[in-house]
Amino acid sequence: MDQSAPGTAQRPLIISVGDLIDEIAVRLSEPWRRGSDAAAQITRRRGGSAANVAVAAVSAGGAARFIGAVGDDPTAEDLERALRQAGVEPHLQRGGRSASIVVVVEPDGERTMLPDRAAALTLQDPGGEALAGGAWLHAPAYSLLGEPLGATTRTLFARARSAGIPTSLDASSVGALSGWGAEESRRRFADLAPTVLFANEEECTYLSLISDPLPEIILVAKHGAGIAEVRSSAGTQIAARPAHQLPTGIDSTGAGDAFAGGLLVARARQESWEDALAAGHRTAATYLRQQASMSGGLG
């Protein structure tokens, strides 16, 4: 077998479904002044949580396919080109206006996101061939918010379960889930039945994931710059690893997605949870250093 080809044991194919976004990052050089001016560095890049995971999976040594909807516009051409240049196989539907987001990063690294998801919400069922060769299917909770994208994501997860493909869901953000509320979010997550659920500290607290684990779902709890831990569906800690130490104030947008991409490649290779956490931290640290270097944040 050619171990360098996508979908093989050494390059497992990670499939992600969700948003591919034109991201405008605004890095403030001084505190925000409402109604006035604040100096900033502004950059434009490809974004979207699901797309980020796919790119990170390739960076971690896997293969990746991204499933999503983009506009019928020049922005979509740029976004697809960026995915291909990153080594990701795009599986795109086109129509309307491409999604965009403004990410405001304050001097201490705190982020505020202003998304306009536009065409990203219009994804229709791409058919069973979209999962062909897949070793893992991933989606952020954003992919459950809005229709028909939500229905399509649920269909793909059900299809993956039937095919024996493990799945993962990222809780995304408390702000995104607040429209449902904590109990409804828990119910919807349980109905989706992912193999693994990623959640940061705030999401774990909001959803009571540590004190009241979701049945049949393994939790990967991310504690920011501290440890990341894996907990069984019974709530028992399986593994824990500290994150890499990095300078403060770095724009952390996409770091959680990079962590997920690295971890999923390792798990798809059947590596231990300890090794998978290490791979996730390594991929996230590499990503953050690259971002900081491009923005002049690191020497």
pLDDT digit string, tens, across residues 63-85: 999 999 999 999 999 999 999 99
**Rounded to two decimals, what is the model's pTM?**
0.90
Confidence of residue 254 (pLDDT cuts 50, 70, 90): confident
| Domain span at 33 | 13-295
* Cα angle: 260, vertex 264, 268; to 5 degrees: 180
d(C-alpha 119, C-alpha 20), whole Å: 9
3-state secondary structure the chain: CCCCCCCCCCCCEEEEECCCEEEEEEEECCCCCCCCCCCEEEEEEEECHHHHHHHHHHHCCCEEEEEEEECCCHHHHHHHHHHHHCCCEEEEEECCCCCEEEEEECCCCCEEEEEECHHHHHCCCCCHHHHCCCCEEEEEHHHHCCCCHHHHHHHHHHHHHHHCCCEEEECCCHHHHCCCCHHHHHHHHHHHCCCEEEEEHHHHHHHCCCCCCCCCCEEEEECCCCEEEEECCCCCEEEEEECCCCCCCCCCCCHHHHHHHHHHHHHHCCCCHHHHHHHHHHHHHHHHHHHHHHHCCCC
Residue 1 lies in a domain: no
pLDDT value at 144 more than 90: yes
pLDDT, residue 250, reads 59
pLDDT, residue 231, reads 98
Segment 31-50 mean pLDDT: 91
pLDDT digit string, tens, across residues 112-130: 889 999 999 999 999 999 9
pLDDT value at 3 more than 90: no
d(C-alpha 58, C-alpha 48), whole Å: 16
Residue 120 lies in a domain: yes
pLDDT value at 14 more than 80: yes
Comparing 88 with 43, which gets the higher pLDDT?
Answer: 88
Residue 232 lies in a domain: yes
| CATH (domain of 65) | 3.40.1190.20
pLDDT digit string, tens, across residues 222-233: 987 678 999 999
pLDDT digit string, tens, across residues 29-38: 998 888 999 9
pLDDT, residue 289, reads 79
Residue 71 lies in a domain: yes
Residue 57 lies in a domain: yes
pLDDT digit string, tens, across residues 195-225: 999 999 999 999 999 999 999 999 999 987 6
Segment 241-251 mean pLDDT: 68
**Site of tokens 């540590």:** 210
pLDDT value at 255 more than 90: no
Sheet strands side by side (includes 136-140): 89-94, 63-70, 13-17, 136-140, 167-170, 196-200, 218-222, 227-231, 237-242
Comparing 246 with 28, which gets the higher pLDDT?
Answer: 28
* 170 CA to centre of own chain: 7
Confidence of residue 21 (pLDDT cuts 50, 70, 90): very high
Look at the chain and report how many structural domains it folds into: 1
pLDDT, residue 299, reads 30
- Contacts of residues 232-237 at CB distance under 8 Å and 24 or more positions apart, as own/partner, are 235/210, 235/211
Q: Residues 170, 192: contact at Cβ < 8 Å?
A: no
Residue 6 lies in a domain: no
Residue 59 lies in a domain: yes
Helix pair angle (49-59, 273-295), 10° resolution: 110
Residue 7 lies in a domain: no
Task: Tell me the average pLDDT of the chain.
Answer: 91
Comparing 297 with 167, which gets the higher pLDDT?
Answer: 167
| Torsion angle defined by CA atoms of residues 150, 156, 161 and 167, in that order, rounded to the nearest 10 degrees | -70
Q: Residues 225, 246: contact at Cβ < 8 Å?
A: yes
Comparing 287 with 231, which gets the higher pLDDT?
Answer: 231
